[in-house]
Structure 1
Amino acid sequence: MATKPNVRVQSDTVPLSVALLARLDALGIDVARVLEIARVPQPTSSVAVLHLDTQHFFAVWAAIGEVSADEEIGIRIGSEAFEGKLDLASLCALHSRDLSDAFRKLSRYKRLTCPEDVRVDVTEGEAAVTFHWLLADASAPDLLVDAIFASTVKLAGRASGGAITPKRIELARRTKGQKRLARHFKCDIRFDAPTDALVFSSTDMKTPFITHDESLVHELVPGLDAELASISKHESFDGQVDAALLRGMRGQRPSVETLAAELAVSPRTLQRRLAQNGTYYQERLDAVRQRVAHRLLANTNLDLGEIAWFLGFEELNSFSRSFNQWEGVTPHRWRIQKTGTEPTLAS
C-alpha cells in the first residue's frame, strides 16, 4: 500500500503574486477560471500576495495550462520575472560576482520564500542546475518548470550582458514542443531525463556579472542570514534528511556517513535524532525513493533499469521488489495503471 512521506522542511508556504494574476489577465487568460480549477479563493483588493501550499501552487500552474491556449505561457511568464520587483534572494543573485556565486545565493536563500532547493553539480566541464520542490507529492507542472528555466536563463543573460546562454536543457517529461523550446532557449533540448536540469558550460559559471554590486549584496546578506537562522530553528530534522537525500539522488545510495556529513552531524547523532522522531534512515530513504519513482514512471519513458540506477538500486530486481512492497504492484504495472498506456519495450 502506498504511504505518503512525512516531509516537513519548513512551512509549506509558496507566494503567488497578485501582480502575476494581473499579468495573466492582461494576456487574455481567465484568471477566475484558473483559481476555480485550482480551488484557490479569489484574492481581495487589499491582498498583494496569496500564500499557498505547494499542492495548490502546483494546481494553479496546472490550471493555467488547462485554461490557456498558449503553449509558451510558462516561458513568457518566466522571461518577464526579472522585469519587475524581485524577491531578496533573486536580487542578491542578480548582483552577485558571477553565475556560480548567484546560484550559491539562490541555493542558500531561496527557502526563505518557498520550499524549493537549488543545486548545482559540476562534472566534466558542465554545470547542471536543478530545482527541487521539497514538500511536493507530485512533479512540478511542465509550465512551472518552463517558467523557472526561462527566468533563470533571463537572469544569466541580463547579468552577463548576454554572454551566458545554456548549453543544454534536460526535461523529465515525454517529448513535446521540442522545436518551441529550442527556439526560445537556443540550445539542445533533451527529454526523458531523470530530472529537470538546466546545463551550462562550467566556464560560464565564472563569467563576471556586469550587474555585480558588492555593496548592495553586503547590505542584504545580514538580514537574509538572520531570517534563515530563524527558520532553521523550526525546521523538522526528518525534513532536512529527506531534502539531503533528494539532493544527493544521482545513481547512488547515500550512506549514513555521507548523509551525516552533509547535515554536519555525526552518524550516531543522525541515527539517534531520527529514532527520537520515531523513524530511521532506511524509512526516510524509501520515502524519497518512492516519490522520485512515482515521478519518473508517470512522466517519462525512462526504462525501469535507468530508473533503478538513478534511485541507487544495485539491480532492477531490487527496485522491483521494493516498489512492490510500497505499492502492491510492480513498477511496470503501476506505470500502465497511472498513464493508461503500455510502456515502451525497454520498460
Structure 2
Amino acid sequence: MSPAAFAALDVSLEQLCARAGVPLSSRWDTDDFFRLWTAAEAEFDGRDAGLRFGAGGVALGYGVAATVALHAADFRGALAALSRYKRLSCPERVDVEANGDEVRVCYRWLAATGLVPRLLVDTCMASLTELARVGTAGAVAPIRVELARAPMDEALLRRHFGCPVVFSATHDAMVFKRAALEVPFVTADGGAFARVLQRFEQQLAAGVGFSGLLGELRLTIARQLSEGRSPSVDAVARRMHLSRRTLQRRLDESGTHFQQQLAEVRRLTASRLLANTELDTVAIALLLGFVEPNSFTRAFRTWERTTPLRWRERQRGCAA
C-alpha cells in the first residue's frame, strides 16, 4: 500500500509519524515504513482491521498500482501492472510465478531488516482479493493464502478469503488457479490504461520510485539459498546476467557491498524461520547456506547479540 493509504486511518499522518518515531514524508525506507504500520496496528482493537482496510482501499483508490491494474484487459494484465508499478509508491516487490495449474502472487520486502507487520500483510492480501473480485465481477477468488508467520486468526482469515490458509510459509503469497489469468476484467479501459502506463513508464525511466538493484540482488540471493545453491558473488552475478565487476561497481555506487547484502538476507530469513517455524538451528543453518551450524550461531550473535534459541524464546515470550 502507498503512503497515501494512511489517509484512511482515524489518526492523522502527523500523529502516526510521531508515534512511530519516523519523519513526516511521502517516501520512507522499508524500516520506517514498517514502523508506521506497526504504530497503525496499535490503533486498532479488531483483529480484522487489515482485512477491512485492504478490502476498502481498492474502491477508495489508496493503492496506485492496484487502481491502475483495475483498467487492465484481464487478470494477467492486472497482475503484470501490479508487479511492475508497485515500486513507484512503496519499497515492495510483487512477483507473479506460474507453476503447473497455479499462479502464485508473492509479496517480498527485500530491503527489510525485521518481520513484516501483521496489519500490512493482511491489508495487502485483502487488497489483492478485492482487486480480483471487483475486476472480474466475482469470477476470480484465491484458492490458497500463504503467510510467513506463526498460526494465528486462522478462522477469521479463512472466512474472509474463503480458502485454506497456510502458515509458516517462506513468503507471504496468494495463490489462484492458473486459468484465472485469462479472465477478462469488467473494469477494463484500454485507452485510459495505455495513457497511465505511458506516464508510469516515463517515471520509471526517469528513475522515480524505489531502487531495483538491491531488491533484485536480495531476491537472487534468496533464490540461490532456497535452491541449495552457492550464494557466492560470482554465482549471484551470473544469475543476474551481470559480470562480477559490474555488480560490485553498482553496489559501490549504492554505498554497500555484497557480503553486507548476503548477511541481511540471511538475517531476515533466520528471524522469520526462528519466529514462525519449529525448525532447529542445524536445519536453519543449512537453509542459509552455512557449512557449519556453529558459523550460523556466531553470525547470529553478531546480528542480534544473543543465540538463535534465546532469540526465539524472547520473541515467543513477547507474543504470548
TM-score (normalised: structure 1): 0.76
Residues 8-157 of structure 1 mapped to structure 2, 5 A cutoff:
15-17=3-5, 19-21=7-9, 24=10, 37-39=19-21, 51-157=27-133
Q: 1:325 aligns with which of 294, 299, 309?
A: 299
**Deviation at residue 156 of structure 1 after TM alignment:** 0.7
SS in 1 for 2:174: strand
CA distance in 1, matches of 2:218, 2:199: 27
* Overall identity of the aligned pairs, in %: 35
**Deviation at residue 279 of structure 1 after TM alignment:** 6.0
- Per the alignment, residue 293 of structure 1 pairs with 270
SS in 1 for 2:113: coil
Report the RMSD for the aligned CA atoms in angstroms: 3.4
2:243 counterpart of 1:266: yes
Greater displacement, 175-184 / 134-143: 134-143
**Deviation at residue 131 of structure 1 after TM alignment:** 1.2
| Structure 1 unmatched ranges of 5 or more | 1-12, 44-48, 342-347
Aligned partner letter, 1:61? W
CA distance in 1, matches of 2:232, 2:78: 30
**Deviation at residue 96 of structure 1 after TM alignment:** 1.7
Distance 1:284 1:68, change over 3 A: closer
**Deviation at residue 294 of structure 1 after TM alignment:** 1.6
TM-score (normalised: structure 2): 0.82
**Deviation at residue 327 of structure 1 after TM alignment:** 1.8
**Deviation at residue 183 of structure 1 after TM alignment:** 0.6
SS in 2 for 1:121: strand
CA distance in 2, matches of 1:74, 1:270: 38
Greater displacement, 207-216 / 114-123: 207-216
SS in 2 for 1:128: strand
Q: Per chain length, whose mean CA-contact separation is higher, i.e. which structure has more relative contact order (CA < 8 Å, sep 6+)?
A: 1
- Per the alignment, residue 196 of structure 1 pairs with 172
Aligned partner letter, 2:316? T
SS in 2 for 1:231: coil
- Per the alignment, residue 345 of structure 1 pairs with none
